[in-house]
């Protein structure tokens, strides 16, 4: 489990749990341990059940994506836009990362690929103003889903968190009940760093769920067990490549099975 990035702290807790279970059930055969451990991990990851996305009861569903640069936010937005479109929903994208050079263009490339419009302003403009425009356009066009990209620079954490809060407030003010999800995107290959990012964003930006990207590589992504254990944040999707279809809804059982494969 440590090799799979679960992290020492959580592994120690799981061992304590397992030891208690062994005593309780009077287990003597070591081969029974792994199934019990798998059961416990699935239980921990599932929480109240593998959650889908929270959608608006009626009207526009707004989903905000947060996370540091390079984790796969833009790619995930593109993949999710494709997923919603194939379900027959209308989608609009908001280019809220006005800071990183090329971020707006990259989102536009995804928009063209998937066939959805992108609401943008110039690079360097106020992201909250972009969100205001995007919400207005979403209302005018009566779209089903608005997916919002945000900046991921970490050099200046305070500013970034203030910026995210401002975006949050604009969306909340314009559409009561929104954003319906704030998804923190994490790169599975970054191990314990992902836990630190989850702590940082989780506390400050009202994260409601996780997307774990780059699980198509060698990383097993065990860090989400630690994140679930310590921060109680559910994983909603996993990224399995760079293409449009490489996004899957998270399945705890399949994930735990792959962890021990
Ligand atoms: P952002 O800065 O958070 O918006 O990250 P990007 O969406 O630009 O992604 C950074 C890099 O990771 C790009 O080269 C993507 O193609 C790649 N990427 C994103 N998701 C995945 C994934 O699930 N698997 C793999 N292999 N690469 C991914």
pLDDT (tens digit per residue) in 99-149:
988 999 999 999 999 999 999 999 999 999 999 999 999 999 999 999 999
Mean pLDDT of 62-78: 96
Is 133 a known ligand-binding residue? no
Ligand 1 centroid – CA 187 distance (Å): 8
Residue with the larger pLDDT of the pair 213 and 154: 213
Q: Is the CB of 69 under 6 A from ligand 1?
A: yes
> What was the pLDDT predicted at 170?
96
Q: Is the CB of 71 under 6 A from ligand 1?
A: yes
Ligand 1 centroid – CA 71 distance (Å): 6
Q: Write out pLDDT tens, residues 141-187.
A: 999 999 999 998 876 667 888 899 999 999 999 999 999 999 999 99
> What was the pLDDT predicted at 155?
67
The mean pLDDT value of the chain amounts to 92
| Listed range (57-66, 123-132, 223-232) with the worst mean pLDDT | 223-232
Is 72 a known ligand-binding residue? yes
- Bin 249: left if φ > 0, else alpha if -120 < ψ < 50, else beta: beta
d(CA 227, CA 192): 10
Is it the case that residue 203 has pLDDT exceeding 90? no
**b/e map 23-59, b = 16+ CB within 10 Å:** eeeeeeeeeeeeeebeeebbebbbeeebbebeeeeee
The ipTM value here is: 0.99
Q: Write out pLDDT tens, residues 232-251.
A: 899 999 999 999 999 999 99
**CA triple 241-243-249, angle to 5 deg:** 65
To test the ligand 1 pocket, which listed residue (65, 66, 69, 75) has its Cβ within 8 A of the most ligand atoms? 75
In 3D space, the residue among 47, 19, 44, 43 whose CA is nearest the CA of residue 33 turns out to be 19
Mean pLDDT of 199-216: 89
Residue with the larger pLDDT of the pair 7 and 60: 60
> What was the pLDDT predicted at 3?
86
In 3D space, the residue among 194, 254, 259 whose CA is nearest the CA of residue 228 turns out to be 194
**Residue 256 in contact with residue 45, Cβ under 8 Å?**
yes
Protein residue with least CA distance to atom 12, ligand 1:
72
Is 50 a known ligand-binding residue? no
> What was the pLDDT predicted at 101?
85
Q: Is the CB of 78 under 6 A from ligand 1?
A: no
Is it the case that residue 49 has pLDDT exceeding 70? no
Q: Is the CB of 240 under 6 A from ligand 1?
A: yes
Q: Is the CB of 152 under 6 A from ligand 1?
A: yes
pLDDT band at 50 (very low <50, low <70, confident <90, very high): low
Is it the case that residue 95 has pLDDT exceeding 80? yes
Measuring CA to CA, how many Å separate 80 from each of 64, 90, 224? 12, 12, 20
Is 73 a known ligand-binding residue? yes
Is 216 a known ligand-binding residue? yes
Ligand 1 centroid – CA 235 distance (Å): 17
Protein residue with least CA distance to atom 16, ligand 1:
242
Strand order through the sheet with 235-239: 117-119, 91-96, 145-150, 61-66, 181-187, 209-213, 235-239, 247-249
Is it the case that residue 204 has pLDDT exceeding 90? no
Atom nearest to 185 CA in ligand 1: 3
């Amino acid at each position: 489990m440590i090799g799979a990035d679960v992290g020492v702290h959580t592994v120690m807790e799981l061992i304590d749990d397992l030891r208690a279970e062994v005593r309780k059930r009077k287990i003597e055969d070591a081969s029974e341990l792994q199934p019990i451990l798998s059961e416990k991990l699935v239980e921990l990851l599932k929480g109240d059940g593998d959650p889908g996305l929270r959608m608006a009861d009626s009207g526009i569903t707004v989903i905000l994506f947060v996370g540091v640069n390079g984790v796969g936010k833009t790619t995930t937005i593109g993949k999710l836009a494709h997923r919603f479109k194939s379900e027959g929903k209308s989608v609009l994208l908001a280019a809220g990362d006005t800071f990183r050079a090329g971020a707006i263009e990259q989102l536009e490339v995804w928009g063209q690929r998937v066939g959805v419009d992108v609401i943008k302003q110039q690079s360097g403009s106020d992201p909250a103003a972009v969100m205001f425009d995007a919400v207005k356009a979403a209302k005018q066009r009566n779209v089903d889903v608005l997916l919002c990209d945000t900046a991921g620079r970490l050099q200046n954490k305070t500013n970034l968190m203030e910026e995210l809060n401002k975006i949050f407030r604009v969306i909340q003010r314009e559409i009561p009940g929104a954003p319906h999800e704030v998804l923190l995107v994490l790169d599975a290959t970054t191990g314990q760093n992902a836990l630190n990012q989850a702590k940082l964003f989780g506390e400050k930006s009202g994260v409601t769920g996780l997307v774990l990207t780059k699980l198509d590589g060698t990383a097993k992504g065990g860090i989400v067990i630690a994140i679930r254990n310590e921060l109680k944040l559910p994983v909603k999707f996993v990224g399995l490549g760079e293409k449009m279809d490489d996004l899957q809804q998270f399945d705890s059982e399949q994930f735990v099975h792959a962890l021990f494969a």
